[in-house]
Amino acid sequence: MAVFTLEYETCESVRDAHVLVTLFEGQSEQRRLKSDAAIIAYKFSVQGLTQIQLQTYVAFYDARSGAYETFTWEDPLGATVTVRFVPETFIYRHDKGTYSLSWEFKVVN
């Protein structure tokens, strides 16, 4: 399994729970957990990349076939987690000779 070791400037952790919400007449609702496992995702960005540096990120993404293949990554708390790219979040921009890139991972349980 591949390991993601490329640099990033910012990393946001997004945590949520598997909650099933059933709506009833009169605006009342019932909530229950579908699973005890949390939904964990990470949002990243990096700026000031050269074209060659950007190509390294793109090559890693393409080698995973985007959101298809899982890989491991060490989160900011030091835990090694299995993740995959979130579809349609790998976005790069070109501005006056440098590139910026943003992407998201989702933890795979």
| pLDDT block averages, 10 residues each, the chain of length 109 | 91 83 89 79 95 96 97 92 96 95 92
Residue 22 CB contacts under 8 Å (≥ 6 apart), including other chains: 29, 30, 31
Q: What is the pLDDT of residue 27?
A: 85
- Other CB atoms within a 10 A radius of the CB of residue 17 amount to 12
Q: What is the pLDDT of residue 15?
A: 81
Q: What is the pLDDT of residue 47?
A: 95
Q: What is the pLDDT of residue 99?
A: 97
Q: What is the pLDDT of residue 3?
A: 93
Distance of alpha carbon 107 from alpha carbon 18, whole angstroms? 14
Distance of alpha carbon 11 from alpha carbon 42, whole angstroms? 6
Q: How far is CA 10 from the centre of its chain?
A: 12
Q: What is the pLDDT of residue 17?
A: 76
Q: Where are the domains of the chain?
A: 10-107
Residue 88 CB contacts under 8 Å (≥ 6 apart), including other chains: none
Distance of alpha carbon 109 from alpha carbon 84, whole angstroms? 11
Beta-strand (E) ranges in 1-109? Answer: 10-23, 29-49, 71-74, 80-85, 91-95, 98-107
Q: What is the pLDDT of residue 34?
A: 77
